Amino acid sequence: MQETLHQEIHHYPTAKLSVEHVYKDFATSNGIVHALEDVSITISEGEFVCFVGPSGCGKSTLLNIIAGLDRPDSGVALIDGTPISGPGRDRMVMFQEHALFPWLDVIGNVMFGLKQKPNLTDKERLEVAKYYLYLVKMDRFAHANIHELSGGMRQRVALARSLAPNPKILLMDEPFSALDAMTREQLYGDIQDIWAKRRKTIVFVTHNVREAVCLGSRVVLFSPHPGRVREAFPVELPRPRNINDHDLADLSQRITSALKGYTAAESD
């Protein structure tokens, strides 16, 4: 496993994020749940890494640890060699729910995220917000109310709000899972375009293998009970990628077969 991960890193020489021997348990009414066991992975500057696995495999737990919203029981997560001790301006999280403020209009929501940048004037915040709304194709709706937007449009605004503070790492936890298929496909193209322009380090959690192959430069498989990293697949298909492309479907099938094998082995 570790050889597979390190081989892919040669394409991205600067390490941005490291997770080293992380363990995490949760106490529940049914006893202790082992969420993560000895998870180690390195993610490099500018990578778009997708975590894939069944429910309960710990991939969202690991994302929360990277975000600083939770702490490992043992092991460490580091950014640029510095241990993560809590939330920080260098990371932004985009969840399945858009979490926009309904009392603010579209541009007000994006500007709110820029309050983390105290060195900016109000005029500069406005210009930055306009730029990112343009980037996510929502500039025409800058003064729309949130309740007037479709689900896909709300997620575009949430993406702009996450990108506007210019974080080092963007963490995305199944942000498109509640959207219809056509809207998701549009967003797949948009997020690839944004990644190509901004080259953000992105960690993306999903259950959808095809989604992961469409978006990621690397797909990392998790198996459940407890959550462990099993294998990593570099994705070297040309961009922009279409989720219905034959080559993408073929690689997705290989990854799905591997994932089913690990899941079956865990249940034996």
The pLDDT assigned to 267 comes to 63
Q: Which two tokens stand for residue 100?
A: 């926009």
Write down the residue that tokens 């279409």 correspond to: 242
CA distances (Å), origin 264, targets 51, 114, 205: 19, 46, 21
Q: Is 156 buried (19+), middle (13-18) or exposed (0-12) by CB count in 10 A?
A: buried
Exposure pattern of 16-44 as b/e (b: 16+ CB <10 Å)? bbbbbebbbeeeeeeeebbbbbebebbbb
The pLDDT assigned to 8 comes to 35
The pLDDT assigned to 154 comes to 93
Residues lower than pLDDT 50 in the chain? 1-12
pTM of this structure: 0.89
Q: Which CATH number fits domain 2-90+172-267: 3.40.50.300, 3.20.20.100, 3.10.150.10, 3.30.559.10?
A: 3.40.50.300
d(CA 175, CA 140): 22
The pLDDT assigned to 235 comes to 96
The pLDDT assigned to 261 comes to 86
The pLDDT assigned to 14 comes to 66
d(CA 268, CA 266): 6
Could you give the residue range(s) of every CATH 3.40.50.300 domain in the chain? 2-90+172-267
